[in-house]
A and B are shown apart, each in its own frame.
Chain A
């Protein structure tokens, strides 16, 4: 078993290396090879489930071991990762054809799979950090492959995620100081004093990886600049898997989050804010991919809210939602990819009437959109209900945030679907038809998974339940969660409202895309929207005043965060750099004076000794 644990890392790594060095032609060779590796990893990971194992190798000495541990939770996520990798590689085979750097792209994807698997299986904080950091560079590489602007975006992503990682490194150091061990399965720390600081630092790391606010601003940029499969791969699925996995581990195993703790409230607040702010931004996007990317942020809010609630329903719901989200979000990105490949654009103003030309894509889109909006009987519904359940138990505010998010999500997907697939058929390109079968298969498989997980939602929930072992005391029975009928009713009402709202908007403006323009160009908000880029927000007619404050706040937050990462930090660095270069004035006398000053100081210190 020991060696097979390592295989989950070595297969992708080896394949990644081989893909990089084999010749460019024939094209099919590298495609076949990467697919083969991905499916082999998937098959291997399936064998992990239900067979706990651990492996440890002497590595750097001095207490730093390369140790891995397979248990039900990590095994489940390794399966998910491998599944997504296989699907996306299959999709990329066609999608990336005719582009540059495909070899590097495959290689990086495989490498990321190895790193994510490593991170999920690692049982040593240093070891986990290693894989975690390494993922940063594959992310960087994959974004940088994209369009001309991609380098800047890649750097932005790198800085933002990198800063989160630094916090995490410091947090890990504190953990080691407090507990004296780096084995995750043996780490148990109280979240008071230094422990609290450690928790916050590790939490920041996990949140930054997940892409929640305020660590999100690179994702929308990447949506336009990075190659599309990357979006479906990293921000939509792998980053969430790894980030939420780590958040769960620190909340449940290391710090034993309990319900009344400040940490729980912090997490829930971050979760709630992320849901609302990001979905607001999503609502007014006019680009298919950008809209989806804001949803990728917003959905992370649900997971954080669920796990932060520290109730069994919330935690199970959060993890279930993470898997569901990974499914439908990557699926939705794939539909965006089909659009990009076949129609040549993802600008919603140019698209329209695609339903008749790409019926399969449309069907997949509808199912996944229903799923992400939380419509029964698809998978998103069940996980969201669990989270609502937990949120209402912990505080009505959080529930309101979640349900409002649901409303806006539904509204934005109605807009998206309407603008892209229905309405007047646009003629941007003649003979638009379905993408090739190899691109359709992953979409269909993922859609089928959405439906299956919805119809048989008890099975995944039962698989996730063991995560709670050790967290919830054995006295409390761990059974399936009973559905809360009144909450379901509210959900359905809210979704209906969203539909009505959309229809109302369409009747007023006559276009799916412009269904929200009457709010957009309202006299009061007009100037703000003009300022905050052309049409950033699209609040609906109910509660205009409240929405206005939120919108301005969201726009401001988004810009401010962007400015900190994009200009404040580089400017500060350049200023310091300039000052330092200025004092190197080229005269050897200055340099001697520095040396003498330091020497004098040293002499005084050595003469008197440091007290």
Chain B
């Protein structure tokens, strides 16, 4: 791979890792279920960007764009279903506190 492309890949890679750390931190620290889902979305964003960068540096934009479109569809469906579950939880516990979801243990 040419040095220039490699540099692009490395630069993007650096920020992609930072973005996923952001998402993971959000997922782990928050006590709100919707915010946890937002953390997951950040992770998905990071990985989408990674796929596009790979497409760019290998010159296979067509393939990676096709992949990314599918990933985006999946992402939305996951977010919708997760939101639905959070909504249900809200209806049962009257709150979105992740600490409520500790009844199953042991």
Q: Is B46 an interface residue (CB 8 A)?
A: no
Which residues, 13 to 42 on B, are CB-close (under 8 Å) to A?
Answer: 24, 27-28
Interface residues of A, CB < 8 Å — how many?
11
Is B103 a contact of A586 with CB atoms below 8 Å? Answer: yes
Q: A588 with B98: in contact, given A593-B28, A596-B24 (CB under 8 Å)?
A: yes
Instruction: Kindly list chain A residues whose C-beta atoms are within 8 Å of the C-beta of B102.
Output: 585-587
Q: How far is the CA of A585 from the CA of B103 in the complex (A)?
A: 9
Which residues, 106 to 126 on A, are CB-close (under 8 Å) to B?
Answer: none
* Nearest opposing residue in chain B for A587, CB measure: B102
Q: How far is the CA of A78 from the CA of B6 in the complex (A)?
A: 76
Which residues, 559 to 589 on A, are CB-close (under 8 Å) to B?
Answer: 581-582, 584-589
Q: Is B106 an interface residue (CB 8 A)?
A: yes
Is A584 a contact of B105 with CB atoms below 8 Å? Answer: yes
Q: Is A592 an interface residue (CB 8 A)?
A: yes
Is A581 a contact of B106 with CB atoms below 8 Å? Answer: yes
Q: Is B73 an interface residue (CB 8 A)?
A: no
Q: Is B104 an interface residue (CB 8 A)?
A: yes
Is B101 a contact of A588 with CB atoms below 8 Å? Answer: yes
Is A586 a contact of B98 with CB atoms below 8 Å? Answer: no
Which of A581, A584, A589 makes the CB contact (< 8 A) with B98?
A: A589
A126 CB to closest chain B CB (Å) equals 39
* Nearest opposing residue in chain A for B29, CB measure: A589
A577 CB to closest chain B CB (Å) equals 10
Q: What band does the interface of chain B fall in when counting residues whose beta carbon is under 8 Å from A?
A: 10 to 19
Q: How far is the CA of A587 from the CA of B106 in the complex (A)?
A: 11
Which of A581, A584, A586, A593 makes the CB contact (< 8 A) with B101?
A: A586
Which of A584, A589, A592 makes the CB contact (< 8 A) with B106?
A: A584
Instruction: Kindly list chain B residues whose C-beta atoms are within 8 Å of the C-beta of A592.
Output: 24, 27-28
B97 CB to closest chain A CB (Å) equals 12
Instruction: Kindly list chain B residues whose C-beta atoms are within 8 Å of the C-beta of A589.
Output: 27-28, 98
* Nearest opposing residue in chain B for A580, CB measure: B106
Instruction: Kindly list chain A residues whose C-beta atoms are within 8 Å of the C-beta of B103.
Output: 586
* Nearest opposing residue in chain A for B99, CB measure: A587
Query: Interface 1/0s, chain A 206-223, versus B by CB < 8 A?
Result: 000000000000000000
* Nearest opposing residue in chain A for B105, CB measure: A586
* Nearest opposing residue in chain B for A588, CB measure: B101
Q: How far is the CA of A585 from the CA of B98 in the complex (A)?
A: 13
Q: How far is the CA of A285 from the CA of B98 in the complex (A)?
A: 64
Instruction: Kindly list chain A residues whose C-beta atoms are within 8 Å of the C-beta of B106.
Output: 581-582, 584, 586
* Nearest opposing residue in chain A for B28, CB measure: A589
Q: How far is the CA of A592 from the CA of B36 in the complex (A)?
A: 12
B95 CB to closest chain A CB (Å) equals 16
A572 CB to closest chain B CB (Å) equals 19
A599 CB to closest chain B CB (Å) equals 10
Instruction: Kindly list chain A residues whose C-beta atoms are within 8 Å of the C-beta of B105.
Output: 584-586
A597 CB to closest chain B CB (Å) equals 12
Q: How far is the CA of A588 from the CA of B104 in the complex (A)?
A: 10
B8 CB to closest chain A CB (Å) equals 22
Instruction: Kindly list chain A residues whose C-beta atoms are within 8 Å of the C-beta of B27.
Output: 589, 592
20 A-B interface contacts by CB (under 8 A): A581-B106, A582-B106, A584-B105, A584-B106, A585-B102, A586-B101, A586-B103, A586-B105, A586-B106, A587-B98, A587-B99, A587-B101, A587-B102, A588-B98, A588-B101, A589-B27, A592-B24, A592-B27, A592-B28, A596-B24
- Hey, which bits of chain A sit against chain B, CB under 8 A? 581-582, 584-589, 592-593, 596
- Known contacts A586-B103, A596-B24; 16 additional CB pairs below 8 A are A582-B106, A586-B101, A586-B102, A586-B104, A586-B105, A586-B106, A587-B98, A587-B99, A587-B101, A587-B102, A588-B101, A589-B28, A592-B24, A592-B27, A592-B28, A593-B28
